[in-house]
């Protein structure tokens, strides 16, 4: 299907993050001009949404995703059977990511983009919320900006969001290998040069501070990220697709549903976060 550039329209959904994109039929055959439009929208809005992409299945979702970058294999969770790298989040297997997080920050090479497709959506509930971590940095008082610029945080999957259901298959595989990685708290986006706060649920401790001090510091910075002004909320329907810039955002899947919820994610590309001094993330342990 040929996409006419004149038909493509981005409709902002909130003041600081998020837009719905009209006029694009997602597939593995999109041309470079349309892909550039998608990437530009991601740089501007951080997360973008496409309704009614019912034609996508696992194969075509992966084909489209690979236009945005090389498939990123999750470090611990096996890919969905008969796919190249689909990460299935099925509520029946314990996969409820109801904490604020940036995906896979417990390793140094963090995924660049995530492409999430709604497969089985409950009639009520199951929305996802995203937050703009650059807007959060801008909101910080100057004194907190200077502090954040100097800090590093230790991220780990040792105590992850799946711990609330440790007998579920998802939780067991998620924690099958334990990683600890030191990331800068403020990361410089390689394309926009914007500063983003890099924390979330996998951030366990601020390097050089006690556990108690770390808890206070992380909670302060997180409170700016999760301000409603910096967020957008998406109500899913089957066939919807969300694409987000992983290192420019955090997200939270609201676990307020009873019926089964299944979404399938492909992550592509990777980036090692670097701060304003050129200091990069480092792996501390893998066991």
List, run by run, the mean pLDDT of 10-residue segments along the chain (287 residues). 75 98 96 96 98 96 97 87 89 79 96 97 96 98 98 87 48 71 98 97 97 98 98 98 98 94 96 97 94
**Separation of CA 221 from chain center:** 18
pLDDT of residue 163: 47
CA nearest to 129, candidates 240, 5, 271, 226: 226
Q: Which residues pair with 164 in a beta bridge?
A: none
Q: Which CATH architecture has domain 72-286?
A: 4-Layer Sandwich (3.60)
pLDDT of residue 93: 78
CA nearest to 153, candidates 104, 195, 202, 188: 202
Q: Mapping DSSP to helix (H, G, I), strand (E, B) and coil, where does residue 215 land?
A: helix
CB neighbour list of residue 37: distance below 8 Å, 6 or more residues apart: 5, 8, 24
pLDDT of residue 134: 98
Q: Are the C-beta atoms of residues 228 and 110 closer than 8 Å to each other?
A: no
pLDDT of residue 79: 84
Whole-number Å distance between alpha carbons of 77 and 71: 14
Strands 47-50 and 19-22 turn out to be parallel
pLDDT of residue 168: 56
pLDDT of residue 73: 87
Domain residue extents for the chain: 72-286
CA nearest to 195, candidates 225, 219, 173: 225
């Amino acid at each position: 299907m040929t996409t006419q550039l004149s038909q493509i329209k981005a409709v902002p959904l909130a003041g600081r993050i998020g837009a719905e994109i009209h006029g694009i039929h997602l597939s593995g055959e999109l041309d470079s001009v349309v892909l550039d439009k998608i990437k530009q929208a991601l740089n501007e809005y951080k997360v973008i949404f496409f309704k009614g992409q019912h034609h996508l299945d696992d194969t075509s979702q992966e084909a489209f995703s690979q236009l945005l970058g090389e498939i990123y294999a999750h470090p611990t969770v096996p890919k969905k059977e008969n796919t190249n790298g689909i990460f299935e989040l099925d509520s029946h297997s314990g996969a409820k990511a109801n904490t604020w997080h940036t995906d896979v920050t417990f390793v140094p090479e963090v995924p660049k983009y995530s492409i999430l497709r709604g497969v089985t959506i409950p009639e009520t509930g199951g929305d996802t919320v995203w937050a703009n971590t650059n807007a959060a940095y801008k909101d910080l008082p100057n004194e907190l900006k200077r502090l954040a610029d100097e800090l590093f945080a230790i991220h780990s999957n040792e105590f992850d969001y799946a711990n609330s259901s440790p007998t579920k298959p998802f939780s067991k595989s998620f924690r099958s290998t334990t990683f600890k990685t030191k990331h800068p708290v403020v990361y410089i986006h390689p394309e926009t040069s914007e500063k983003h706060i890099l924390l979330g649920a996998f951030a366990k401790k601020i390097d050089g501070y006690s556990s108690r001090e770390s808890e206070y510091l992380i909670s302060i910075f997180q409170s700016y990220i999760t301000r409603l002004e910096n967020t957008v909320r998406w109500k899913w329907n089957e066939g919807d697709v969300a694409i987000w810039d992983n290192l420019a955002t955090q997200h939270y899947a609201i676990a307020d549903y009873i019926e089964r919820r299944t979404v399938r994610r492909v992550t592509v590309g990777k980036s090692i976060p670097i701060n304003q001094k050129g200091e990069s993330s480092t792996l501390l342990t893998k066991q």
